[in-house]
Amino acid sequence: MDTENHHNLTSDSTMSDKTIANDQSVQTQESWASVPKRKPLPLTKDPEAIPESAAVNAGTGVGTGKENATPSADAHPSGKRAWPFSLAGCNFRAQKRSRNFLIIGIVAAVLLIALIIGLAVGLTVGKKKASNIPLPTSNGGPYSGDLTYYDPGLGSCGYTSTESESICAVSHILFDAASTGSNPNDNPLCGMKIRLRRNGKSVDVKVVDRCVGCKVDDLDVTESVFEKVAEIAQGRVTMEWAWLEKSPVSVS
């Protein structure tokens, strides 16, 4: 008897628990059914097409679990990080710099070529060629003697000369014979013109000095004069010369 009562009580308790569980399930389903359903937002790539409510929710973090979310300063509309410089801009500056270097190089090359050409022309003009003029006979001469060259400076006539000038030193015998006093600067031969000639080439020179090692009919000239009628390596050659103006002395 007690066993049957216990079995009945257990059965009644089980049925009561099932009834309560069913009631709770029905209430839960009714409460979810009463909640209004949201329509899904349309997918779009245009940020301006997002509804205002969605934009507000995105800005406030409602429904996302992120409060007061703000767009990043590095954000880019395409979703990529915005770099602080442009690769295209860097390439343009590099190309511009290369063009500037190229222009500078071309200008420098042109100036260098012009300088070389100018120097070549100047040297050619400065190196005058010898003439082919016969020797005069009315002022004394022609005479035949040796021609040598020397490095000029301050001569006996008081003139300071350079290697590039057309000058000469006459024999000390001839120079002393024309002297009129103790001052060699006052010698009548100083500044007089002579024309020398060799192998069809002639050069006019001015007397500025006295040659101690020369014979009476020898002349000593600068290298620039010597190389117009002979090779520098020859050192000493024979030539003819004559006065271009009346000389106070004659060569015997």
pLDDT at 42: 60
Contacts (Cβ under 8 Å, ≥6 apart) of 127: 224
Cα→Cα distances 221→91, 177, 189, 227, 241, Å? 67, 20, 16, 10, 12
Same domain, 104 and 196: no
Q: Kindly report the CATH number assigned to the domain that includes residue 154.
A: 2.40.40.10
Question: Residue by residue, what is the 3-state secondary structure of 224-244?
Answer: HHHHHHCCHHHCCEEEEEEEC
Work out how many domains the chain is built from and give that number.
Answer: 3
Burial of 187 per CB tally in 10 Å (0-12, 13-18, 19+) = buried
- At 190-212, the pLDDT tens digits run 999 999 999 999 999 999 999 99
Nearest to 203 by CA among 221, 179, 177, 182: 221
Decide if 232 is inside a domain.
yes
Tokens read off for 227: 């190389």
pLDDT at 144: 95
Cβ of 61: how many Cβ atoms within 10 Å? 13
Contacts (Cβ under 8 Å, ≥6 apart) of 64: 57, 58
Same domain, 236 and 147: yes
Same domain, 15 and 50: yes
Same domain, 112 and 172: no
> What would the mean pLDDT of 28-43 be, rounded to a whole number?
59
Of 101, 126, 151, the one marking the end of a domain is 126
Q: Which is higher by pLDDT, 164 or 19?
A: 164
Q: Mean pLDDT in the chain?
A: 76
Nearest to 177 by CA among 186, 187, 191, 167: 187
Domain that holds residue 101: 85-126
> What would the mean pLDDT of 73-93 be, rounded to a whole number?
57
Give 214's strand partners.
none
pLDDT at 66: 46
Same domain, 178 and 91: no
- At 51-74, the pLDDT tens digits run 554 444 444 444 444 444 455 545
Same domain, 164 and 102: no
Decide if 238 is inside a domain.
yes
- H-only helix segments in the chain: 2-34, 52-60, 87-126, 172-177, 223-229
Same domain, 34 and 114: no
Same domain, 148 and 237: yes
Portion of the chain with pLDDT greater than 90, in percent: 43
| CA atoms of 137 and 120, how far apart (whole Å) | 39
Same domain, 117 and 149: no
pLDDT at 162 over 90: yes
pLDDT at 7 over 60: no
pLDDT at 60: 46
pLDDT at 9 over 50: no
- At 120-148, the pLDDT tens digits run 766 555 455 667 787 878 888 899 999 99
Same domain, 152 and 108: no
Tokens read off for 77: 């509309």
pLDDT at 77: 53
Which of 92-101, 104-113, 210-219 holds the top average pLDDT?
Answer: 210-219
Same domain, 177 and 217: yes
Decide if 79 is inside a domain.
no
pLDDT at 250: 78
